[in-house]
Every structure is written in C-alpha cells, then in structure tokens.
C-alpha cells in the first residue's frame, strides 16, 4: 500500500458536509482533511455527529450538501459499494464477519476471486495470506473465524479493508473488547499501515490510547467542528476542553471511606474461575479490581451478585453471612450490579427509561396487579433529575438514548431498589468523556452516602484515580491489594502484564 504521493499531500478532503434529519442537524458544514501516512483522531461526545459523518463517508447516508474529494477529485459516494470502490473501508465495534466461514472467505466477502461459475479458492487463500502478512499477523487463512479470539477477529476485519486497497480506513471504537496486549498488537498493526501510507480515521472514547496513537485530532460538538487538527494539541486536557469545556478535574475523586465493613468475601470459590478470593469493602470506599480480560474480575462480580453459586467460602454483608441462590436474593440484600455489557445484560430496550428504572423494585409501586403509575412517574422523575439524565428518558425507549444516559439509568435503577453495595463492571466503557465525568460524580455521591463500591475497570488511569484501594486479580485470585496511591501506573501495568504472560 505504499503511496507515491508526499506525506503532506491530502489524501481525502471532506468539505462543508451537512446532513440533517427531521428536527436535527447531525452534521453542520463539517470539514476534515486526511493525509497519507497519518492516523487522525475523530473525537466528540455521544451525539456529536461522529457516527453520522462515518455513515456519510461509507455511503449509508447521503449528505444534503458538501463534497468528498480523493486526491483533489470530487467523488459521488451514494452507497456502501461505491464507498468501497472509492477506497473507503470501515471497521466497526460490532464485527461484520460470518463466523462459520474461513478467514480467507471473510476477507474476500462480496468479491470472491474467479469467475461467475468458479471461485478461485487457491488464489483467494494466497491473496488472504499476502494481506495478513502485510499486517504482520500470524493467522491461518483456512481457520474458521468463529474459532478465533476477539482480537484476531478484529485483525481479520482490518484485513478485509486492506484487501480492497482502501486508502481511507475508518476504525470506530476498535478496542472496546480488547485487553492490554491485544490493544498493543492492534496499535502496532495501525502504525505499520501508517508507515505504508494509509490514511486512518480513528474514533475512540479512550483518551489515553488516543493521545498515544494519533498524529492529530479533530473534535466535533453538536454536529460541528469545534477544534480542527491544526488547533487541537494531542493531550487529554486539550481534547477534554474542546469536547466539553474546561473541567477542574478529569477524575474528581472524593474520599469518603468509613470504618465499617459493608461487604466481605472470605475464600470465595465458584466453578467459574473464582479461586479463593478474599477482600473487604468498607462503607464509603471504592475498591478497584484490576486485571486483564479473562482474569476473573467479572466472575467475582457474578459471584457477589448471586449469578454463579459458591462452591466454597462465604460472603458477608454488614458482618453477617449471606447465601444468594439467585440475583433476586442479592437485590433483596441490597447488592447491585452494573454489568459490563449494558446492552445484553443491563437494559430492557423495549421499555422507556422510566420503566427501566422502576423495574428493579415494583413493590414500591403497589401490587403487581395494580401498579401506581403516577407514583412511578414521580419517583422515577426524581432520580432522572438527580442523576441529570435527559428528561426524554421518561417516555423514550432506552435504546434511543445515548450511552451515557443508558449507563446512568442502570445506576438509577439500583438507587430505586435501595441498593447499598454497588458492583460496577466497566461502568464507563463506550461512553464519552462528559458522561464519564458524570459517572465519576455519581460514584462520589454513592460513597458520600455510605455505599460501598467495587469498581472493575480496564482503564488504568480511571482505576487508580477513582479507587481508594486496588486489588489485582490474576487467574481468579487476588495477588495484591493496597492503597491506590501506593500504585504507580507503571507498577499496575507491569503487574497486569505479568498476569497476561502467565496466562
């Protein structure tokens, strides 16, 4: 993919692109310039217009005005096929792979080599091998995609883009489901593509990885460019300021630890990876659980919430042993779980936001045969206002709300259920920086009220800043636990790296 053009020659030039929907200006005169051999960050809060812009570039949406130029030549990108032929390819958070087909077949989906009567299977495999070799990854072209790890599936998606000879590669939240080592591998692949001359548009809510990887940043807000690549320093502080304005602190931690122990695990074991885990969480404390994907953090959360039964050890709440046969028992005891995957495990997408909040404790609203809907609206509205959730959540289906509002609705649900112990599994995953700061504020409110919080996070900065103590999880065990201030970021990275190597 080596280009003959100079590195400072614009590869792609998006000019004055505007796209409106009924009552909404999603993109308002957006300008964006991508150069060959450049990784360009596209940042902004949820609802700022990033997704609409990407879909316009991919031919899914047709702009009302503006133009897209490649090498100075205007293009008409009126459908995804035209985008692919123009040299635009996208890798989305949710893969578009067919798990039952081979790697080679997935790489060539839509454009199988050969004739209308006969596929050139050998040529397809050889071509797939060449593309994978260009990425410097060791994946068998004959392997079935469904048998690959999430990280390798992500690389197959990128290989699909490379196979089309794309000169603009768009990556939308590519690291959401990846661990530390896998993120490092992906970044290495992207830097290799950059060296080969690709123009890469990179979208992510993880600011630390953005500033490490990209060459420049464009920031969108309310559908408009508010800070261009030339104006935006590639620092977390500058990007946050452009996105949401100046904030006093990115991580507004308030210490509220009390003496009383709210939750204690003693030698807890389950059939699902948890192997002799012991720790205590005090009232008003945030205990961070750090570890790589698959280390057992989520399995510990499942054990606390009664999803996975104990085969050994015990759980105590307020010093008294409890036995949870189901999540229902945990909820009744005041335990809440904000799950890692809010779409699959945390929300009812056929319900509006209000119903998602009150469903956790319908007994507050009367009998199951005669719920007091007026009381539901009054109590739910109070929480919506308190947590600064959009007022539209009262009646709008939760699936139509932003990720940040969805996450706050899950937390509101457990407040409605009178929870006192909160297990937060990746609570800021997939939400923008403004919503993250709002979630941090909620954590402070929970601890100030004397609630105990167990925080699972793959974001090292977040884990260290928002925790009072940190427990390192390795193969279902706690290998280290100490004050968060006693950890340096390099210490934490090194501890987790050892864990990944041991795996």
Round the CA-based radius of gyration of the chain to a whole number and report it.
24
CA distance 500 to 182: 10
Q: How far is CA 424 from CA 253, 273, 302, 334, 448, in A?
A: 16, 19, 11, 14, 16
Does residue 365 share a domain with residue 311?
Answer: no
Does residue 197 share a domain with residue 52?
Answer: yes
Q: Is 189 helix (H, G, I), strand (E, B) or coil?
A: helix
Does residue 129 share a domain with residue 117?
Answer: yes
Q: How far is CA 305 from CA 6, 156, 264, 273, 317, in A?
A: 57, 36, 13, 15, 12
For 309-324, what is each residue's pLDDT tens digit? 999 999 999 999 999 9
Residue 365 pLDDT > 70: yes
Better-predicted residue by pLDDT, 341 or 201: 201
E-only strand ranges, 173-212? 199-203
Instruction: Using alpha carbons, select from 143, 146, 307 the residue that is nearest to residue 315.
Output: 307
Does residue 302 share a domain with residue 160?
Answer: no
DSSP 300-341: HHHHHTTSS-EEEEEEEETTEEE--SSHHHHHHTTEEEE-S-
Residue 247 pLDDT > 70: no
Q: How far is CA 397 from CA 84, 322, 338, 343, in A?
A: 34, 36, 19, 13
Does residue 37 share a domain with residue 20?
Answer: yes
Does residue 123 share a domain with residue 74?
Answer: yes
Q: Token pair 């009383």 is at which residue?
A: 260
Q: Is 407 helix (H, G, I), strand (E, B) or coil?
A: helix
For 24-83, what is each residue's pLDDT tens digit? 899 999 999 999 999 999 998 777 889 899 999 999 999 999 999 999 999 999 999 999
Does residue 299 share a domain with residue 197?
Answer: no
- Whether residue 440 is contained in a domain is answered as no
Does residue 275 share a domain with residue 358?
Answer: no
- Whether residue 212 is contained in a domain is answered as yes
- Whether residue 251 is contained in a domain is answered as no
Cβ neighbors of 443 (< 8 A, separation 6 or more) are 286, 424, 427, 453, 455, 466
- Whether residue 221 is contained in a domain is answered as yes
Residue 332 pLDDT > 50: yes
Query: Residue 41: phi, psi to the nearest 5?
Result: -80, 135
pTM: 0.69
For helices 373-386 and 403-416, give the axis angle rounded to 10 degrees: 120
Does residue 157 share a domain with residue 28?
Answer: yes
- 479 token code pair: 């290998």
- Whether residue 263 is contained in a domain is answered as yes
Does residue 105 share a domain with residue 94?
Answer: yes
pLDDT of residue 2: 38
Q: Token pair 């709008």 is at which residue?
A: 396
pLDDT of residue 501: 44
**Of 100-109, 202-211, 243-252, 315-324, the least confident:** 243-252
Q: 169, 161 in Cβ contact below 8 A?
A: yes
Q: Is 32 helix (H, G, I), strand (E, B) or coil?
A: strand
Strand partners, 169: 89, 200
Chain centroid to Cα 134, Å, comes to 28
Does residue 482 share a domain with residue 353?
Answer: no
Better-predicted residue by pLDDT, 490 or 300: 300
- 159 token code pair: 């290989």
- 151 token code pair: 């990280």
For residue 447, what pLDDT band results from cuts at 50, 70 and 90?
very high
pLDDT of residue 337: 93
CATH number, domain of 107, equals 3.40.50.300
Q: Is 176 helix (H, G, I), strand (E, B) or coil?
A: coil
Does residue 50 share a domain with residue 126?
Answer: yes
Alpha-carbon torsion (380, 385, 388, 390), positive or negative:
positive
Average pLDDT over residues 212-241: 92
Domain holding 313, by residue range, is 256-334+420-433+449-503
């Amino acid at each position: 993919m080596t280009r003959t053009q100079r590195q400072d020659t614009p590869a792609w030039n998006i000019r004055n692109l505007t796209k409106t929907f009924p009552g909404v200006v999603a993109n308002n005169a957006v300008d964006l310039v991508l150069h060959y051999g450049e990784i360009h960050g596209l940042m902004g809060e949820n609802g700022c217009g990033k997704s609409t812009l990407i879909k316009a570039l991919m031919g899914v949406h047709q702009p009302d005005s503006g133009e897209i130029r490649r090498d100075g030549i205007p293009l008409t990108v009126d459908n995804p096929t035209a985008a692919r032929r123009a040299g635009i390819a996208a890798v989305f958070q949710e893969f578009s792979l067919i798990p039952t087909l081979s790697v080679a077949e997935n790489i060539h989906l839509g454009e199988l080599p050969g004739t209308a009567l006969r596929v050139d299977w050998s040529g397809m495999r050889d071509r797939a091998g060449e593309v994978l070799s260009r990425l410097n990854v060791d994946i068998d072209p004959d392997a079935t995609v469904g048998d690959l790890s999430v990280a390798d599936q992500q690389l197959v998606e990128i290989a699909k883009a490379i196979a089309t000879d794309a000169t603009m590669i768009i990556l939308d939240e590519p690291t959401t489901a990846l661990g530390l080592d896998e993120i490092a591998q992906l970044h290495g692949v992207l830097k290799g593509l950059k060296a080969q001359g690709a123009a890469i548009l990179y979208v992510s809510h993880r600011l630390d990885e953005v500033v490490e990887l990209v060459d420049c940043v464009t920031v969108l807000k309310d559908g408009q460019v508010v800070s261009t690549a030339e104006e935006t320093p590639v620092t977390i502080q500058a990007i946050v300021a452009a996105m949401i304005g100046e904030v006093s602190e990115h991580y507004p931690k308030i210490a509220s630890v009390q003496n009383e122990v709210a939750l204690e695990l003693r030698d807890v074991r389950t059939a699902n990876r948890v192997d002799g885990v012991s720790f205590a969480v005090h009232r008003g404390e945030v205990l961070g659980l750090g570890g790589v994907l698959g280390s057992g953090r989520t399995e510990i959360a499942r054990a606390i919430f009664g999803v996975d039964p104990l085969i050994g050890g015990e759980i105590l709440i307020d010093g008294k042993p409890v036995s949870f046969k189901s999540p229902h028992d945990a909820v009744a005891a005041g335990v809440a779980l904000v799950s890692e995957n809010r779409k699959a495990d945390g929300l009812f997408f056929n319900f509006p936001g209000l119903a998602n909040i009150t469903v956790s404790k319908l007994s507050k609203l009367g009998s199951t045969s005669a719920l007091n809907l007026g009381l539901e609206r009054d109590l739910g509205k109070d929480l919506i206002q308190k947590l600064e959730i959009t007022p539209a959540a009262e009646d709008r289906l939760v699936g139509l709300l932003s990720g940040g509002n969805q996450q706050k609705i899950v937390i509101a649900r457990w407040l409605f259920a009178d929870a006192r112990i909160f297990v937060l599994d990746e609570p800021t995953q997939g939400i923008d920086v403004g919503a993250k700061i709002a979630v941090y504020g909620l954590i402070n409110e929970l601890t100030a009220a004397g609630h105990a919080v167990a925080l699972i996070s793959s974001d090292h900065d977040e884990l260290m800043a928002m925790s009072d103590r940190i427990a390192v999880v390795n193969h279902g065990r706690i290998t280290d636990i100490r004050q968060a201030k006693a950890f340096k970021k390099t210490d934490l990275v090194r501890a987790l790296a050892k864990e990944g190597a041991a795996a």
